[in-house]
Structure 1
Amino acid sequence: MDKRNVDVAIIGAGTAGMVAYQRVRKATDNLVLVESGQYGTTCARVGCMPSKLLIAAAESAHNMRHGDLFGVVAGGVTVDGRQVMERVRTERDRFVGGVLHAVENFPETHRLKGHARFIGPNRLLVGNELEVNAQRIIIATGSRPNIPGLLQAAKDRLVVNDDIFEWQDLPESVAVFGPGVIGLELGQALSRLGVRVRMFGKGGAVGPIQDKAIEDYALKTFNEEFPLDPDADVKKIERVDKGVAITFTDDDGSEKTETFDYLLAATGRRPNVDGLDLVNANIGLDEKGAPLFDPHTLRCGDSHIFIAGDANNRLPLLHEAADEGRIAGDNAGAYPEVRTGLRRTPLAIVFTDPQIASVGLTISQVDERCRGCYAVGEVSFEDQGRSRVIGKNRGLLRVYGEHGSGLFMGAEMFGPAAEHIAHLLAWSAQRRLTVSEMLEMPFYHPVIEEGLRSALKDLNRNLNIGQPPEEGCTDCGPGV
């Protein structure tokens, strides 16, 4: 068996792995990047980018259908499913090509193809023919769709988001299981492209929303486009001649069976760590066999092993994966010196319409940390000027601030331009601005951001500024 000694081995060439590789190279050129599958990040190949391409097509169809709001009537709207999917694949391949080009620029001696698994704390077996002895190891193996056993009954009509982007045409109907980020984005997009969609959830959650007022608003809004039951009682799933038959309890309490062409499992993702033989790595594991690690340094216990990106299942977002690749790479390169890395203000966006966004602390985190010594401000976009002008006047924004200091702590939003407003709020949270300081910033007229100003004004009125916070509030803040 061939053997190779390196300073650092990185398992996984996704976003976290590629960033980690670039950071490690600043410290040593004696490293390897191991990939068992196709090059190309989850984002470019089956995640962020192809889903946004499908959403863009859906928004175009939706806007054309609702032109009569402005007195613009262009006749019927026809969706050519083949053309829609052809553009999705073509542009997706362009994004993937950019990633492939970046990887191909890495020295060939640094790239290893094959499945890696631990055969000792410092030893990796790559494939069946190469043993890599590494002084430090970074696990950046990403994640894959998690499919509950119940859904397996759909057999060959069971699909995940990866499969959708390979479709040559749009189907007539799809049942979506899981109203999380992936389910909501793809389900609404398919619905707006003319696909009959019904969405089933479990536990009552709607996307990542934590604020009950916003969750109720979002649930009502989505149900105006397609049926969404966030806590569905599904009795049976069966593969039948015409597709997948799903029996469930309807709103009136009766049992109902509907048949769909496909069942889309959008039921979360699981980290790709189960095939690494981590029992040989001599690190602590949780009850599911995943590594225990410090979220600030990404170090597994007191070992020489680090874990970054979706593999640690902490914050499965591309920008977080990139940050974690930086932190893990810097620490692996500088080991045994290990430092806390920069963690930015939490920021998450769902590209539905209206969009969903969360910034900083959630309302439950605010309540837990401040024991009730906080205030809430809100604004509805139903009567917000610019939103009404463009026919996007649906949504609710709620912002949270600390009594006494007036510090802005976080926000949740379901509304127009949430992706842009969320960035303004995240920057404010990371700079630890007070609500009054945020209100000193310029707001143009007429823009959707005036709705943000209204919410901040409402919050400022509800805050007790200058009074010391109640006992137990010393750790309040946006979690920067």
Structure 2
Amino acid sequence: MPSQQKPEIDIECDVAVIGAGTAGLAAERSARRAGARTLLIDDRFAGTTCASIGCMPSKLLIAAAKTAHSMGVSSQFGIHAGNVTIDGKAVMERVRTLRDAFVASALESIEDLPDSAKLKGLAKFISADRLAVDGRIIHARCVVIATGSRPSIPKMFDGMKNILTNETVFEIDKLPFSLAVVGAGPLGLELAQAFSRLGVDVTVFDEGDTVSALKDHDVAKSLHTLLEREFTIHLGVKINASQSDETTDISWSGASEGKKRFTHVLLAAGRPPNFGGLDLANTGLELDEHGTPVFDSQTMQCGKSSIFIAGDCDAALPVLHEASAEGAIAGNNAACFPDVRPSKRSTPLAITFTDPPSASIGVPAGKNANVGVSEFSDQGRAKVEGHNAGLIRIYADNEGRLTGATIAAPEGEHFAHMIAWAIEDRQTAMQLLDKPFYHPTYEEGLRSALKHICDQTRLSFGQDRDAGSSPGV
């Protein structure tokens, strides 16, 4: 039989990047800077996940909620704000207006690309080095997959009304009356607290036994307790849902049992990789049990192939700075293929913007780790601000060198950066205690944890360092 003729090639490039989100944009820039002819492919060119449906709109909602909450608790300072009126329509309009400005800014880098370097359409693999995009055939020496992720929608919610995800929640015209949040991870908790502070009756459900994906039981328990002061959280439960007119009935069982009716449901139980329509089977790549290509996290190369992966679609570290870093690594290695080189990855850092913020830094505490604890109920500056609650646990090796931490404490996002930088610089608890701590600041709250580590590693420190360093100060 005669061999099957390959389809005619419409476009040739060195590196084709599928997906114009944070990782894809970083990959295209990195490959172009390395001298490659690039082609950026996306079905919408709608802006990055962060700008359009992730980081920025959620923080805009959180900012409105924080303002409402601060007015509601102002009486503790002797300031009586009276009845606080929340205009839900105006809140959501501001979220969308500023969100759209962030999206426009993100799109500027795409608009700067020449038309020959971008192609709108759905891409699918014909082979490892050939793509079909709406009938056009692209031959690429290397391909970077940066297709992002998509909402996980359980089948029980198919066809139901008023079901929201992070891709639709910011489009509602007014605030819900009541909201069931399915998922107690970072996204679910951020939005749950924000809507609760804006006057929505919120209940969170999760099959797991922790909040905000925290692996430190003590910190997770502390955060759980603090958040439940504002809204209800049911952990360790399975749910069932049924539609009733314009509302949804949620029943749950497991660690607790009950039934409640909600006007809206927010699905926040994860975002699996978005490989729909890619035809990965045509690449010859090895896939894991979830259908994700097996890749090297230091090179972003899939096996030994000419295909690379970056961003949320690799299901490794779904945060913006990691997506950007992965994109840069993937793009550079794709441009230089087959000269693929490993890159040093930064200290793992994940932050959830609840109040108090939570964070996971570095590696979890192992059995032999030294653990230092700072409890914020009696911390001086925290008491001044009326935020005196929370917990920090810092981990170190036997030499006192910091290896990780878990945080649920006021100003936690800033503590998280300080600790991550210290881990990057391989600093010990003693070295950090040698740094200046201004009084009165939240940063002083770290000293108790650092001293605990020093005590455990039998490191001594001078008497002058003890002055004025009680937990309440």
- 1:45 maps to 2:52: yes
Q: Distance in 2 between matches of 1:288 and 1:416?
A: 37
1:373 equivalent in structure 2 = 368
2:138 equivalent in structure 1 = 132
Q: Distance in 1 between matches of 2:134 and 2:378?
A: 61
Q: Distance in 1 between matches of 2:254 and 2:274?
A: 37
Alignment of 1:112-261 (within 5 A): 112-128=119-135, 130-152=136-158, 155-234=160-239, 236-249=240-253, 256-261=258-263
Q: Which amino acid aligns with 2:334?
A: A
Shift of 1:186: 0.2
Count of aligned pairs: 453
Q: Distance in 2 between matches of 1:249 and 1:269?
A: 24
2:377 equivalent in structure 1 = 382
Shift of 1:417: 0.3
Q: Give the match's secondary structure for 1:331.
A: helix
- 1:24 maps to 2:22: no
Q: Is the 8 A contact 1:299 1:328 kept in 2?
A: yes
Shift of 1:375: 1.1
Stretches of structure 1 lacking an aligned partner (at least 5 in a row): 467-480
1:334 equivalent in structure 2 = 336
Shift of 1:465: 4.9
**Alpha carbons of structure 1 residues 330 and 337: separation in structure 2 relative to 1, 3 Å:** same
1:305 equivalent in structure 2 = 307
Q: Distance in 1 between matches of 2:97 and 2:246?
A: 30
Q: Give the match's secondary structure for 1:269.
A: coil
Q: Is the 8 A contact 2:162 2:246 kept in 1?
A: no
Shift of 1:2: 5.9
Q: Give the match's secondary structure for 2:171.
A: coil
Q: Is the 8 A contact 1:242 1:259 kept in 2?
A: no
Q: Give the match's secondary structure for 2:167.
A: helix
Structure 1, 325-334 or 451-460: larger mean CA deviation = 451-460
1:345 equivalent in structure 2 = 347
For residues 349-373 of structure 1, the C-alpha deviation after alignment (integer angstroms, 9 at most, x for no partner) is 000001101111112xxx1xxxx33
Shift of 1:249: 4.1
Q: Distance in 1 between matches of 2:208 and 2:184?
A: 10
Q: Which amino acid aligns with 1:387?
A: A
For residues 185-239 of structure 1, the C-alpha deviation after alignment (integer angstroms, 9 at most, x for no partner) is 00010000000001101021211211111111111111111110111242x3111
Q: Distance in 1 between matches of 2:121 and 2:246?
A: 40
Q: Distance in 2 between matches of 1:344 and 1:462?
A: 27
Q: Is the 8 A contact 1:401 1:459 kept in 2?
A: yes
Stretches of structure 2 lacking an aligned partner (at least 5 in a row): 1-7, 461-473
Give 2:435's match in structure 1, choosing from 426, 441, 444.
441
Alignment of 1:373-412 (within 5 A): 373-403=368-398, 405-412=399-406
Q: Distance in 2 between matches of 1:81 and 1:65?
A: 16
Shift of 1:242: 4.0
> Percent identity between the aligned chains?
45
TM-score (norm 1): 0.92
Shift of 1:29: 4.9
Q: Which amino acid aligns with 2:278?
A: L
Q: Distance in 1 between matches of 2:185 and 2:368?
A: 31
Q: Is the 8 A contact 1:250 1:256 kept in 2?
A: no
Q: Give the match's secondary structure for 1:197.
A: strand
Give 1:263's match in structure 2, choosing from 248, 262, 265.
265
For residues 123-154 of structure 1, the C-alpha deviation after alignment (integer angstroms, 9 at most, x for no partner) is 000112x100000110011111112223337x
Alignment of 1:312-331 (within 5 A): 312-331=314-333
Q: Is the 8 A contact 2:45 2:120 kept in 1?
A: no
Q: Distance in 1 between matches of 2:81 and 2:265?
A: 34
Q: Is the 8 A contact 1:203 1:230 kept in 2?
A: yes
Over aligned residue pairs, what C-alpha RMSD do you find?
1.5
For residues 362-421 of structure 1, the C-alpha deviation after alignment (integer angstroms, 9 at most, x for no partner) is 12xxx1xxxx33211101111000000000111000011111x22111110101000111
TM-score (norm 2): 0.93
Alignment of 1:70-85 (within 5 A): 70-85=77-92
Q: Is the 8 A contact 1:171 1:261 kept in 2?
A: yes
1:469 equivalent in structure 2 = none
Q: Distance in 2 between matches of 1:317 and 1:27?
A: 25
Shift of 1:464: 4.0
Q: Is the 8 A contact 1:148 1:267 kept in 2?
A: no
Q: Give the match's secondary structure for 2:161.
A: helix
Q: Is the 8 A contact 2:272 2:315 kept in 1?
A: yes
Q: Distance in 2 between matches of 1:257 and 1:407?
A: 49
Q: Is the 8 A contact 2:219 2:391 kept in 1?
A: yes
Q: Distance in 2 between matches of 1:233 and 1:143?
A: 24
- 1:60 maps to 2:60: no
Shift of 1:250: 8.9
For residues 231-277 of structure 1, the C-alpha deviation after alignment (integer angstroms, 9 at most, x for no partner) is 1242x3111024101122497x6x53211111110010011124210
1:473 equivalent in structure 2 = none
Q: Give the match's secondary structure for 1:419.
A: helix
Q: Give the match's secondary structure for 1:25.
A: helix
2:107 equivalent in structure 1 = 100
Q: Give the match's secondary structure for 2:408.
A: strand
Q: Which amino acid aligns with 2:424?
A: Q
